[in-house]
Structure 1
């Protein structure tokens, strides 16, 4: 059985090598980002690395503080580098994000970054059926069920996300999330534009043309892909000896 946690850790550790002293770093939300924050915290403590972090969720901010990172939510220049996970990636480098409920802040941070790198395990690059992971859409609470109904015109089923206790999941921005179930997303650019035209939709968990590199963890290292206009291309393979 594949060790996906080890894969996540290897991807995060390799991507962390690109973080340099003095950088402003965007930190994503989710299980893979946990390993990144832990590695950056180790380098701050042991190597004297000086960085400032912009966090995409309250959970990430708490974890960053626990690991000794400096935090800000007010910057004058662009973020140097954002490193974040993804729920699914197609062969052209489009991401589905938002499984952790932080897609709006994640997109704001990524958009305002000079570069975005993605850290994932070996399950996340989808070669044939991109869109099988439910697409998260952040919506405002006002008349939210009407917004959910309108989203259903684009998929076979839409669920309002709930917590383990059955309560409506509320984002850090005070909004709700609708998860759209599709068989496949053929044109993510057109779909994103169509969904964002619906009143009540705040943001869509499709990241088109934003990411520059993918770090796909393996159990003994990491595959690194660059994202070009032609799609994703393997750049190198790193082995952890």
Structure 2
């Protein structure tokens, strides 16, 4: 099956496969949301079945929870786990300081809560997610439905004084109706092109009434596992200042992800 994957999917696969090695018996592990995180969940499920790995997973969305249960991972809530050893999740963008934009999958609120309730956050991504400056990917902002248009107007007003290149905001849709998060909220996507001061923008956005959380993850990520389409994988540790490289060989008959639709 892996022989049929696109280079980007191969890159996601090797990043997920390498990151799965960080999980040890007895750990409490935050499980991210999105296509790359779904590969991780399948890889961990394989370790559960083949190695007898035992750990408790805290999913960041209902769809991650369903997939985790399907592959045999014990699922618990964050309240039950209380604190996590590690969270492993994808990202829509990351920069050299491992600051992130997340929320393309619509789960940014749970993702940020889980990540910050962890001793360590590891991001898994294909090499295309690395950027010099954040902002090319639209920045998700979760808002409550009540007064959403007022919140959107306040966000647009605040962007005038921010160091950004674009200021267009759009309501994320699911067909003909607004997209609804697991918490019953809506998402505004901010098309900024470039974010000059991500830390400042994150603070300003969260002060706006109606805003629940934004998709800027600043000083949260500790390591990034970068996958490449040729099987190379790179682990960067922002705290230790180290970079390690390796390679994962594909098994052409690997059917680990044959049912994965994400």
For normalisation by structure 1, the TM-score amounts to 0.94
Q: 1:227 aligns with which of 217, 238, 242?
A: 238
Q: 1:108 aligns with which of 110, 113, 132?
A: 113
Residues 1:173 and 2:183 aligned together: yes
Residues 1:239 and 2:247 aligned together: yes
Q: 1:215 aligns with which of 225, 232, 236?
A: 225
1:191 matched residue in structure 2: 201
Gaps of 5+ in 1: none
Distance apart, 1:131 and its partner CA:
0.6
1:99 matched residue in structure 2: 104
Task: Show the 5 A alignment for 1:1-241.
Answer: 3-73=7-77, 74-75=79-80, 77-127=82-132, 129-153=133-157, 154=159, 155-163=166-174, 165-219=175-229, 220-228=231-239, 233=241, 235-241=243-249
Q: Note if contact 2:138-2:193 (Cα within 8 Å) is conserved in structure 1.
A: no
Q: Note if contact 1:196-1:203 (Cα within 8 Å) is conserved in structure 2.
A: yes
Distance apart, 1:21 and its partner CA:
0.4
Q: Note if contact 2:125-2:225 (Cα within 8 Å) is conserved in structure 1.
A: yes
Distance apart, 1:78 and its partner CA:
1.4
1:212-233 deviation line (CA, Å, top 9, x unaligned): 000010121211111149xxx5
1:76-119 deviation line (CA, Å, top 9, x unaligned): 54101100000001111110000000000000000100000000
Q: Aligned Cα RMSD in Å?
A: 1.5
SS of residue paired to 2:63 = helix
Distance apart, 1:234 and its partner CA:
5.0
Structure 1 runs (4+) greater than 3 angstroms displaced: none
1:19-76 deviation line (CA, Å, top 9, x unaligned): 0001010000000011100010011011000010000000000000100010111335
Q: Note if contact 2:28-2:81 (Cα within 8 Å) is conserved in structure 1.
A: no
Distance apart, 1:130 and its partner CA:
1.8
1:123-150 deviation line (CA, Å, top 9, x unaligned): 10102x4211100000000010111111
Aligned residues: 236
Q: Note if contact 1:151-1:180 (Cα within 8 Å) is conserved in structure 2.
A: no
Q: Note if contact 1:137-1:205 (Cα within 8 Å) is conserved in structure 2.
A: yes
SS of residue paired to 1:43 = helix
Q: Note if contact 2:100-2:134 (Cα within 8 Å) is conserved in structure 1.
A: no
Distance 1:197 1:156 in 2: 18
